[in-house]
Amino acid sequence: MLRRLAALPKGRRSLSSTSKSAKMGSLMVDPPSPQGVSFSVKTALHGDITSHRSQRASHTHAAMHTLVPNTHLDTSLPIPVRKYLQSYGLTPPRVESYETQKARCLGQLALKTTDIDRFLYLSALRKNNVHLFYRLMTDHLRELTPMIYTPVVGEACQRWSEIYQQAEGMYLSFEDRGHLASIIQNWPQPNVEITVITDGSRILGLGDLGVNGMGIPIGKLALYTACAGIRPECTLPLTVDLGTSNKAFQEDPLYMGSRRDKVTAQEEQEFLDELMMALKERWPAIVIQFEDWKNPFPSLARYRDDYAMFNDDIQGTGAVIMGGIIGAVKQSGISPRDHRAVFLGSGSAGVGVAKQIVAYFMHEGLTEDEARSCFYLVDSKGLVTSDRGDKLADHKIYFSRNDNDGQQFKSLEEVMEHVKPTIIMGLSTIGGAFTPELLTKMGQWNKHPIIFPLSNPSSKSECTFEEAIKYTDGRALFASGSPFPPYTFTSSTGETKTLRPGQGNNMYVFPGIGLGTILSRAIQVTDNMVYASGESLSTALTQEEINMACLYPEITRIREVSVRVTRFVIRAAQKDNVDRLHHLREMDDEQLEEWIRSKMYDPHAETKNLEAEVKEMARELASESSRL
């Protein structure tokens, strides 16, 4: 057993996963060996099998402490296990059920009076008892996701320097260039499978928040664990400090990043070249997600062929919104070629979403030109046209209109009058931009107007659910980036209904894109894998959800939905021949989904797994002592 534990960092991901059956085994079944073996576990455990019992116990304890901090301090652990782990006496005497632990946590949460207090409480719980945190999260996704993700993470990032309490994730600075590979060795976890990287330069719709953006990688990776079962110790939140354009932060004595202005695009690229290589050198199979960069197009183009990487804001958002649009287009009763979509916002998300829907429309039989001509992109200068007179950023050129007869449309109102859209999408960061007047017009022009205000957090949403419903007489097909509460509405025909909004947020797909890439050992994240993730969503709705005209599955089912997304992503990787775990090709879809489930971290099973480990260890130790 101890020898097996010593080998743990190389092939397996956690103490508890070492003794699981093949069915319940870890994600790292037959991985390429990570380069960096955890020093403390390796040195503490490289197995002198004859050493003293207490020494062994503390070695085991050290292994757990390194891989899953504080696991031995869970108040649900039985007394014999505590004694074995030498944590007996370090926690109150009573052995508690999860129900009791949960009641205490929810009680404490209820005492908090602000969202930031709830955010801090949950962050501390994650640090102090990671399995309990994820048990709570998976049981209360609807209520708790907004506390650790959008919208509350937005305020947390804005106030990060003020509310900072504990180190989480890694920070790498421009000044560290030339040494990134050796600094990355400081990360104590040996088996990182996925990282989310930001430079903080476009955090949600809140602008450049510099290193305060760290809340985003932490929040996204918490969802990877809660929604797709990637083990918490296999995730690496990463923030790079490349300076900030945020003058207020530069002058704030509490700001914890450098005071330099943002580095140049060339300097950023050189830094990222080194970082990407360093990450892959230590963890050859690592999946890398770029998140919330101001201009993420160059890095996506540069690294996507050589790394298993993707950009969530361009690709994840594109896929998730395509997934919702598939249902909305069907419910609208209008064929794809007759849709006219006005996009407020032509940045990474706007262009990513429009391109992904072009791919869907082509899938439905339109030529590329026909599909592209359905889109009218608007930025801060108005409708994006080829003859507008300013130099268009590269990513906007594809959608620039040529059919405007020299006329320019400066405001959203003018564009909407000109186009009379069937779809409006908001990816502009301009809260309230879909005014009551515009929403009313959408209701007049369309039987079922498609209205997607997607900017985050809630304060930046282009309209609320209530507004979209009220001003279209309850006929809007709606999804927003941040969550809105249900709304009870009486229509002009006197019908009263409680309606639930869809949440068009990339959280429905990125966990499955990441898990599918990890599990298939894909060497790239291809366009087909991204497309498949969005397409899978429309197949994941239950009959009841379809009857209720939902555009997205119920959030409480997200773990099951992630299994479906993961299966589609793996199948697409196989088709594109970028997968490396070829025996998965032999499984039928049902077997593959079952296998995916078996690889997912289940926080509810962890304490039991630990108990089983300890029992097995005790047995082995007893038989070894009897041989001595």
Ligand X SMILES: NC(=O)c1ccc[n+]([C@@H]2O[C@H](COP(=O)([O-])OP(=O)(O)OC[C@H]3O[C@@H](n4cnc5c(N)ncnc54)[C@H](O)[C@@H]3O)[C@@H](O)[C@H]2O)c1
Ligand Y SMILES: O=C(O)C[C@H](O)C(=O)O
Q: Which does 325 bind (CB under 5 to 8 A by kind): ligand X, Mg ion, ligand Y, none?
A: none
Q: Which does 378 bind (CB under 5 to 8 A by kind): ligand Y, ligand X, Mg ion, none?
A: ligand X
Whether 471 sits among the annotated catalytic residues: the reply is no
Segment near ligand X (CB under 6 A), from 325-333, 345-353, 463-471, 517-525?
A: 345-353
CB within 8 Å of 582: residues ≥ 6 apart: none
Show the site string, 290-329: x = touches Mg ion by CB under 5 A, - = not: -xx--------------------x----------------
Is residue 324 near ligand X by the rule CB under 6 A?
Answer: no
Q: Is 223 or 537 the residue whose CB approaches Mg ion more closely? A: 223
| Contact indicator for 263, 271 with CB cutoff of 8 Å | yes
Whether 149 sits among the annotated catalytic residues: the reply is yes
What is the closest distance, in whole angstroms, from the C-beta atom of residue 127 to ligand Y in the complex?
22
Which of 193, 233, 241, 292 contacts ligand Y by CB under 6 A?
A: 292
Q: Is 402 annotated as a binding residue?
A: no
Cα 300 to the chain's mean position, in Å?
17
Strand ranges across the sheet with 170-173:
170-173, 235-241, 194-198, 287-290, 308-311
**Extended beta strands in 210-286, E state:** 235-241
Q: Is 433 or 454 the residue whose CB approaches Mg ion more closely? A: 454
| Contact indicator for 64, 92 with CB cutoff of 8 Å | no
Is residue 315 near ligand Y by the rule CB under 6 A?
Answer: no
Q: Which of 84, 98, 149, 376 is catalytic?
A: 149
Buried b (16+ CB within 10 A) or exposed e, 146-166: bbbbbbbbbbbbbbbbebeee
Cα(476)–Cα(458) distance, integer angstroms: 19
Is residue 199 near Mg ion by the rule CB under 5 A?
Answer: no
Which of 505, 517, 528, 566 contacts ligand Y by CB under 6 A?
A: 505
Peptide bond preceding 146: is omega within 30 degrees of 0, i.e. cis? no
Strand ranges across the sheet with 477-480:
382-383, 375-379, 341-344, 423-426, 450-453, 477-480, 502-503
Residues in a beta bridge with 557: none
Is residue 456 near ligand X by the rule CB under 6 A?
Answer: yes
Is residue 428 near ligand X by the rule CB under 6 A?
Answer: yes
Of 421, 379, 381, 376, the C-alpha closest to 402 is 376
Q: Is 208 annotated as a binding residue?
A: no
What is the closest distance, in whole angstroms, from the C-beta atom of residue 313 to Mg ion in the complex?
4
What is the closest distance, in whole angstroms, from the C-beta atom of residue 204 to ligand Y in the complex?
5
Cα 267 to the chain's mean position, in Å?
27
Q: Is 317 or 574 the residue whose CB approaches Mg ion more closely? A: 317
Tokens describing residue 475: 């006929």
Q: Is 313 or 579 the residue whose CB approaches Mg ion more closely? A: 313
Which of 225, 456, 480, 520 contacts ligand Y by CB under 6 A?
A: 456
Query: In the chain, what is the greatest distance between 2 CA atoms, to the nearest angstrom?
Result: 93
Which of 63, 141, 427, 509 contacts ligand X by CB under 6 A?
A: 427
| Contact indicator for 297, 395 with CB cutoff of 8 Å | yes
Peptide bond preceding 457: is omega within 30 degrees of 0, i.e. cis? yes
Which of 454, 532, 550, 617 contacts ligand X by CB under 6 A?
A: 454
Cα 319 to the chain's mean position, in Å?
13
Active-site amino acid positions: 149, 220
- Which residues are at the interface with ligand X (CB under 6 A)? 202, 204-205, 313, 317, 320, 344-350, 378-380, 427-430, 454-456, 460, 481, 504-506
- Which residues are at the interface with Mg ion (CB under 5 A)? 291-292, 313
Residues annotated within a binding site for a divalent metal cation: 291-292, 313
Residues annotated within a binding site for (S)-malate: 202, 456, 505
